[in-house]
A and B are shown apart, each in its own frame.
Chain A
């Protein structure tokens, strides 16, 4: 059998049909199995917070050691700045999901390079 790493590219349509908890569960189940997940559309800040918290609860000695995650800066940062007078006055918050995101097991994935428009990662098989 060919040795390697399974990479799951998940479309934004599939993600949109899931609740936050279902998204987190799906991502973590795949990553704990040693797969790398690429999300066409990233997670919201609340989902990212939940992902960190749930990841911590899944870490086991000599087993799952956590996740490596990389994403481009969220488009919402640009939107926030252009919130205008009323956006500023009324604390307008516009938080779209992040952009393409890659998540993998921390002990198999390493980020080699990241800039505004490029994420370069190295993945080893288990």
Chain B
């Protein structure tokens, strides 16, 4: 191959890289049992027909970050965004295997589950520092949003300059209050949904196109 052709190819590649619209890697973060995997499954199922992982009422069901690449979300006006979705383990500062015993899990399995959960949280933090380009922060809107882990994580996300949409999940439950969440994080958009029932997910998709597009 001549020098001229090689140089031309290399130049084309550089130009292509410069102007190619980057596919953002969006992490779904939040405390355990906020509904992260339920939402990940809904997004992926709605737009690809696939699923991300199993859900459960037992905390730390997701103990490894799971990624689904190339999910394209579009609206009626032809606007679209293609993203990689990363469903992450719930972030916490404490994990005691005895918590799992309350859900009828045997002691030996509970110890393994707790160890995997600790590795999962460490992994989630590592992803956030290294590989995530935008965040959907999930909160259970029946719970107190001022929990320290939420304050810390939102602070970490802000310090990295990542765009974040806060999702006030479980709006199908009677005690749900997205107002509390809005007052806790007035600096970010808050969308109230039910990942389980699918309430208002269209508004979330619109916001994702607008925010991550």
Contact = CB atoms under 8 A, between A and B. Distances in A.
Interface of A: 44-46, 48-50, 52-53, 55-57, 59, 61, 65-71, 73-74, 77, 80-81, 91, 93, 95, 98, 106-107, 111, 114
Given A65-B96, A68-B93, A68-B94, A56 B148 contact: no
B199 interface: no
Dominant secondary structure of chain A at its interface with chain B: mixed
Interface of B: 91-97, 111, 114-115, 118-119, 121-122, 125-126, 128-129, 146, 148, 151-152, 155-156, 158-161, 187
B159 A66 contact: no
B93 A57 contact: no
Nearest to B97: A61
Enumerate the 5 nearest inter-chain pairs by beta-carbon distance, A residue then B residue, closest first. Answer: A66-B94, A106-B94, A45-B159, A56-B118, A56-B122
Contacts of A65: 94-96
Given A77-B187, A106-B96, 19 more contacts: A45-B155, A49-B125, A52-B122, A52-B152, A55-B94, A56-B95, A56-B121, A56-B125, A59-B95, A59-B114, A61-B115, A67-B94, A68-B93, A71-B151, A77-B155, A81-B187, A106-B93, A106-B94, A114-B146
